[in-house]
Amino acid sequence: MTNPATDQRVPLLGAEPRLTFPSGFRWGTATAAYQIEGAVAEDGRTPSIWDTFSHTPGRVVEGHTGDVACDHYRRYADDVRLMAELGLTAYRFSIAWPRVQPGGRGPANQAGLDFYRRLVDDLLEHGIEPWATLYHWDLPQELEDAGGWPERDTAERFAEYAALTHDALGDRVRNWTTLNEPWCSAFLGYGSGVHAPGRSDGAASVRAAHHLMLGHGLAVQAMREARPENNFAVTLNLYAVSPATDSEADADAARRIDGLSNRIFLDPLLRGEYPEDIRADLREVSDFRHVRDGDLATIATPLSMLGINYYSRHVVAAPEPGADGTDQPGDATWPGSESVRFVTRGLPVTDMDWEIDAPGLDETLRRVHRDYTDVPLYITENGAAFVDKLVGDEVDDPDRSAFIDAHLRACHDAISAGVPLRGYFLWSLLDNFEWAWGYTKRFGITYVDFSSQRRIPKSSARWYADVIRHNGLAAG
C-alpha cells in the first residue's frame, strides 16, 4: 500500500503491533440505505426525496439512481458474510424511513421492518454489533411535499418514526443514531440545492437545520423513555477549520466557517444555545423566529455518545478586493458563508478533490472533548474515494490503506491525549451510490461490479482486516 504523500507502502502487521487500541475498541464499517439497498419499490417502500431527485434529469452525474445500487436488500446475507470475513466487530447501517413508515405517517410497515430484523439477526449471529442510523437523508417524498425539514411538523413526524422503529428493533439494536450529518441535509439539501430535495433557499435551510436537531432531541426523548438502557447519539460531519494566513480578516473567515459548519450544531446540541456570532452572520437570511421556547432544551437532551464523521479540513480566507475595491464573492454555497474563499494548500487529494489532512481528525476529536463533552466519541465515518482499477480479480488500492492508516494514527494520538474515542467505522464497506456523483466515486474497501453485483475485496479490505485482527497498527 502506498501513501500518496510519501509513496511508501503501508506495511501489513507483524506479530507485534506497536500502536495498540484500547481493548473493546469497536472496528466497523458504515453504509447508508439509499446508497446500497436498491429495491426501491419493494415490500411497500414509497419514494423518498432521493428517488425524486435522482430521477430528475441533470441532478445526478450520468443520470444514476439508487434504484438498484448494490442490491443489498436481496444480497444482505452475502454482505454480512463479507463483514464476518473481515472480522468487523460492529456495522453501522441506516434504516430507510419510507420502507418502515411509507409516506412518513401512520403505522409501521411490517414487511419493511422485517428486512431490518433479518439483517440485524444475521449480524448478531455473526458476532457483529448492529448500529442503526434512523435518518441518512431519505425523507419520504410526501413529507417534503408538505414542506419538508423547513416545517416544524417534520420534526414531530421524525420522532414518531424513530419511536416506532425503536419499538420494533430496540430489543436487539443497542446503539441508535438519530441523524447522519444534519449539515448536509439542511445546507446541501435546502441551501445550495446540490442534494435532495434540491432547493436553494437560505432561510429554509436555516429552519431545516433547526428542525432536524429538534427532531433529533424529540426522538432521543421518545426512544429513551421506551428503553433507557439503549445508547442514543447523533452523527455530525465536523471539519477542522484554519485561516489561510494570520491576518485578522482570515481569522474572521475561519471563525465564520467554523460557526456555520461545526458550532451551529455543536452548540445547540451540547450547550443548549445558538452562538451570537452565528445568529449575526445569518441575520440577512434568518431572524431565528422559528426557534420556540423549550426547543434548545429539547435539542440538548443528554446524549449517550456522539458520532463524528471526518473527511478533511477547511482552510479559508477573507474575500479579495476586486479592481473596484469592493469584495469579490467567495465560493461557498451555503448561507452566511458567501464571502469566504476556500483555499487549497497543494496537499494530496482524494478523488473527491478533498485534501488529505489526518492531523485535523486528532484536532477535531480533542476540540470536541475539551470544549464540549465527556461522552464517548465514535468516528462514525472516515474514508476516501480513489480511482480503483479492477485488474483480473484484484483491486490494489494502496492509497486508501494509507489514508485509513494515517487517520487511525490520528485517532490513536487523540486517545493517548485522553479523548474517550471508543470506535472507528470506515466509510465504506462497499462502493456505492455517492449521491450527486452517482457511481462515479468509489469509497468502498470492497469493489462492486455494478453490472454483475460481484463483490471483490480490495487490498485495503485485507489490510483493514489485519488491523482489526491485531487491534492496532504497525509501528509507523
Q: Hey, which residues are catalytic here? A: 381
The DSSP code sequence of 90-143 is EEEEE--HHHHSGGGSSS--HHHHHHHHHHHHHHHHTT-EEEEEEESS--BHHH
The residue within the footprint of ligand IFM, chosen from 381, 405, 431, 466 (CB under 6 A), is 381
Q: If binding is defined by CB under 6 A, does position 309 make contact with ligand IFM?
A: yes
Q: If binding is defined by CB under 6 A, does position 431 make contact with ligand IFM?
A: no
**Are 411 and 379 a contacting pair, CB within 8 Å?**
yes
**Are 359 and 414 a contacting pair, CB within 8 Å?**
no
Could you say which DSSP state residue 105 is in? S
The residue within the footprint of ligand IFM, chosen from 425, 427, 439, 463 (CB under 6 A), is 427
Q: Which is nearer to ligand IFM, 384 or 408 (CB)?
A: 384
The residue within the footprint of ligand IFM, chosen from 434, 445, 448, 457 (CB under 6 A), is 434
Least distance (Å) between residue 294 CB and ligand IFM: 31
The residue within the footprint of ligand IFM, chosen from 51, 144, 181, 250 (CB under 6 A), is 181
Q: Which is nearer to ligand IFM, 129 or 381 (CB)?
A: 381
Using CA atoms, how far residue 201 sits from 101, 123, 187, 279, in Å, is: 28, 41, 9, 17
**Are 136 and 34 a contacting pair, CB within 8 Å?**
yes
Least distance (Å) between residue 316 CB and ligand IFM: 20
Q: Which is nearer to ligand IFM, 73 or 427 (CB)?
A: 427
469: its cell numbers:
485482527
**Are 166 and 227 a contacting pair, CB within 8 Å?**
yes
Q: Which is nearer to ligand IFM, 311 or 464 (CB)?
A: 311
Provide the mask over 121-160, with x wherever binding to ligand IFM is found by CB under 6 A and - wherever it is not: ----------------------------------------
Least distance (Å) between residue 434 CB and ligand IFM: 5
User: Which SS3 state, helix, strand or coil, does residue 319 take?
Assistant: coil
Q: Which is nearer to ligand IFM, 29 or 35 (CB)?
A: 35
Spatial separation of the C-alpha atoms in residues 376 and 293, rounded to whole Å: 29
The CB-nearest residue to ligand IFM is: 32
204-233: contacts with ligand IFM (CB under 6 A): none
210: its cell numbers:
433547526
29-58: contacts with ligand IFM (CB under 6 A): 32, 35
| Strands 446-449 and 454-457, bridge-based pairing | antiparallel
Least distance (Å) between residue 237 CB and ligand IFM: 6
Q: Which is nearer to ligand IFM, 258 or 434 (CB)?
A: 434
E strand map for 217-352:
231-237, 240-243, 306-309, 313-317, 341-342
The DSSP code sequence of 377-433 is EEEEE---------BTTB---HHHHHHHHHHHHHHHHHHHTT--EEEEEEE-SB---
383: its cell numbers:
474514508
Q: In what order do the strands lie in the sheet with 240-243?
A: 240-243, 313-317, 341-342
N-terminal to C-terminal alpha carbon distance within the chain: 13
382-421: contacts with ligand IFM (CB under 6 A): none
Q: Which is nearer to ligand IFM, 309 or 401 (CB)?
A: 309
Spatial separation of the C-alpha atoms in residues 82 and 88, rounded to whole Å: 9
13-32: contacts with ligand IFM (CB under 6 A): 32
Least distance (Å) between residue 184 CB and ligand IFM: 7
Q: How many residues belong to the site for ligand IFM (CB under 6 A)?
A: 8
Least distance (Å) between residue 313 CB and ligand IFM: 15
Least distance (Å) between residue 432 CB and ligand IFM: 7
Least distance (Å) between residue 311 CB and ligand IFM: 6
Q: Which is nearer to ligand IFM, 240 or 291 (CB)?
A: 240
Spatial separation of the C-alpha atoms in residues 189 and 43, rounded to whole Å: 27
Give the length of the chain: 476
Query: Where does this chain bind ligand IFM (CB under 6 A)?
Result: 32, 35, 181, 309, 381, 427, 434, 443
